[in-house]
Amino acid sequence: MATDTYDASGKVTAEAAPEAVAALGAADLERAMAAFAGTIEQQPPPYSAKKVQGVKYYELARRGEEVPQEPKEVTVYEFRALAPLEGGAFPFQLSCSSGTYARGLAHDLGKALGVGGHLAALRRVQIGSFRVEDAVTLAGLEPAVADGAEIGRAWIPFDAIPLPFGEVTADPQQETRIAHGQTVLVRELQGEEGDWVKMINRRREFIAVGTVVERIGTAGVGIVQPRVVFR
């Protein structure tokens, strides 16, 4: 079934007959999922935080207004079923670029198969260099610290935290503005409007994370709004 949010929290917009779903085999899934591999144009879900003229898509959708059709280029490295379709659902594995909507892929896959589809559940097992298997639970952290044990790869110095999006370097004047939550005009900007950026100073200290609120021309110049400030 398809939903308006492309996940299990939304309202059902279409539902296929059980026999249509039962007729789908492993080869059908494999063929349809393979079509999404590589660099593709993906339309963000109507209920998403992407903005148009400062207004979020989900705000437009909730008001019953039309959401713009503005596809974004994303890359899907891997998208495959881990088990056959059973009871109208199946587990899958996805590896993709930052900014890809997994629920968008689920919706588009259901559409391609002719039966509709939505994302029932999602568990992120890796982002950038962060992997679930390297994690330390909160319950295990306190005794490890008390015993002076090595935490291993779970310990990363704050300034060295890798993030899956571009970074911008602030000069001293901009650093002061950022500290007060004020926007800054930056160059060599990576990302489009609405994207996150890592903000560092000239000493390469991690000072904030922000979002691109406006791109100016095509020369990598834009305005960034600090969202979480650390220094």
- What is the architecture of the domain spanning 2-113? 2-Layer Sandwich (3.30)
Q: Phi then psi for 144, rounded to 5 degrees?
A: -65, -45
pTM of structure: 0.69
Ranges in the chain annotated CATH 2.30.130.10: 157-229
CB count within 10 Å of CB 6 equals 26
CATH 3.30.2350.10 domain position(s) in the chain: 2-113
* pLDDT tens for the chain, residues 1 to 231: 999 999 999 999 999 999 999 999 999 999 999 999 999 999 988 888 888 878 888 888 888 888 888 898 999 999 999 999 998 999 999 999 988 999 999 999 999 999 999 999 999 999 877 888 888 888 888 888 888 887 777 778 889 888 878 899 999 999 999 999 999 999 888 778 889 999 999 999 999 999 999 988 777 889 999 999 998
The helix/strand/coil state of 32 is helix
157-229 belongs to CATH 2.30.130.10: yes
